[in-house]
């Protein structure tokens, strides 16, 4: 049973985060409402030094949907914003399963779409990207995050420029590669220079959407090189357009929704 909150207790907003949009929501809510609202940002704990955030921070998993549900009740959470990465499908599903006692909003930036002049090769997952890659290019700008590098590591006669937030201690099995450690947002000029300097002839990207990491796609267009684009994973709960799922595409829309829900 949901815990009844004392009338004088301030509302508690849980932001499932790990994205720039989640951080922007946390900052904007704290800037707008200050101490009138309690804000907790939750991170999976995948990066060593996450960007600084206002309010409280929870790092690491909750223990499945049951754990998340128990946490929501124990901490008196009133509203959940799921602003996780579009490829983090598991935690989004858990948010819908666990948070039935409180309102949930899914903040999901629209996927990128190819523009005139783009040469995209869309694939369904990482394995398909790795299988296709040698037929598309040999000098690869690999921007899929740290957890899924292994699928590419044994491709032969392929050079990789691997961009990661944290510098890894080891990059298993890659033969010919460089690492660039950087956190977005990235610029068109910066990505163009980087890709030219490394004579990149193909980009591999997840279709994350948003502005922070789109520069590589502009650079690919300018250079006239292909992009292997990994589509978003299918979702069975919390999908855009599904009845009963509160949906926002922008931070501003999410803030408007929060304002309605908490009644400030
Ligand atoms: P996931 O498959 O959705 O989540 C796996 C588990 O990690 C969840 O079940 C949950 O553990 C925990 N978790 C994930 N996000 C959390 C959050 N914000 N707060 C607390 N716990 C969280 O996501 P993933 O394994 O992190 O990543 C899957 C894909 O998303 C990868 O392609 C990755 O590159 C991409 N991605 C993820 C993030 C991120 O911040 N998670 C950021 C950028 C890209 P419990 O079940 O124990 O609660």
- Does ligand 1 have an atom closer than 6 angstroms to the CB of 27? no
Q: What is the pLDDT of residues 60-99, one digit of tens each?
A: 999 999 999 999 999 999 999 999 999 999 999 999 888 7
Looking at the CA of residue 63, tell me the nearest atom of ligand 1.
47
Q: In this model, does residue 258 exceed pLDDT 50?
A: yes
CATH 1.20.1430.10 fits 12-110+234-262, yes or no: no
Residue 237, pLDDT score: 65
**Residue of 15, 44, 50, 123 with the most ligand 1 atoms within 8 Å of its CB, for mutation:** 44
Atom 45 of ligand 1, residue of closest alpha carbon: 61
pLDDT score for 115: 96
- Provide mean pLDDT across the span 9-31: 96
Domain ranges of the chain: 12-110+234-262, 120-230
**Of 69, 88, 210, best ligand 1 pocket probe by most atoms within 8 Å of the beta carbon:** 88
User: pTM (2 decimals)?
Assistant: 0.93
The pLDDT value recorded for residue 239 is: 66
Share of the chain above pLDDT 90, in %: 82
- Mean pLDDT confidence for 35-50: 93
Task: Round to the nearest angstrom and report the end-to-end CA distance of the chain.
Answer: 26
- For residue 134, report the distance from its CA to the centre of ligand 1, in Å: 29
How many A from CA of 44 to the centre of ligand 1? 5
Report the separation in Å between the CA atom of 137 and the middle of ligand 1, taken as the mean of its atom positions.
30
pLDDT tens-digit profile of 198-216? 999 999 999 999 999 999 9
Domain 120-230 has CATH 3.90.1070: no
Rounded CA separation 52/66 (Å): 28
Q: Distance between CA 205 and CA 203 in Å, rounded?
A: 6
Nearest to 69 by CA among 41, 24, 102: 102
Domains 12-110+234-262 and 120-230 agree in fold: yes
Ligand 1 neighbourhood includes 91 CB (under 6 angstroms): yes
CB of 88 shorter than 6 A to ligand 1: yes
């Amino acid at each position: 049973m949901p815990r009844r909150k004392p009338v004088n207790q301030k509302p508690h907003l849980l932001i499932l985060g790990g994205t720039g949009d989640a951080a922007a929501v946390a900052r904007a809510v704290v800037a707008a409402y200050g101490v009138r609202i309690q804000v907790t940002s939750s991170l999976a704990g995948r990066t060593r030094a996450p960007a600084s955030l206002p309010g409280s921070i929870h790092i690491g998993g909750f223990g499945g949907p049951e754990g998340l549900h128990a946490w929501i009740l124990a901490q008196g959470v009133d509203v959940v914003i799921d602003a996780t990465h579009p490829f983090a499908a598991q935690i989004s599903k858990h948010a819908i399963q666990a948070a039935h006692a409180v309102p949930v909003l899914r903040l999901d930036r629209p996927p990128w779409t190819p523009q005139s002049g783009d040469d995209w090769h869309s694939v369904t997952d990482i394995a398909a990207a790795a299988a296709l890659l040698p037929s598309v290019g040999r000098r690869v700008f690999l921007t899929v995050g740290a957890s899924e590098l292994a699928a590419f590591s044994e491709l032969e006669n392929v050079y990789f420029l691997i961009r990661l937030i944290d510098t890894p201690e080891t990059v298993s099995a890659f033969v010919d590669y460089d690492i660039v450690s950087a956190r977005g947002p990235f610029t068109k000029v910066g990505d163009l220079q980087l890709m030219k300097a490394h004579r990149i002839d193909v980009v591999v990207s997840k279709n994350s959407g948003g502005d922070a990491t789109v520069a590589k796609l502009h650079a690919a267009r300018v250079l006239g090189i292909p992009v292997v684009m990994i589509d978003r994973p299918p979702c069975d709960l919390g999908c855009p357009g599904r009845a009963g799922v509160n949906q926002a595409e922008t931070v501003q829309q999410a803030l408007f929704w929060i304002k309605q829900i908490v009644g400030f």
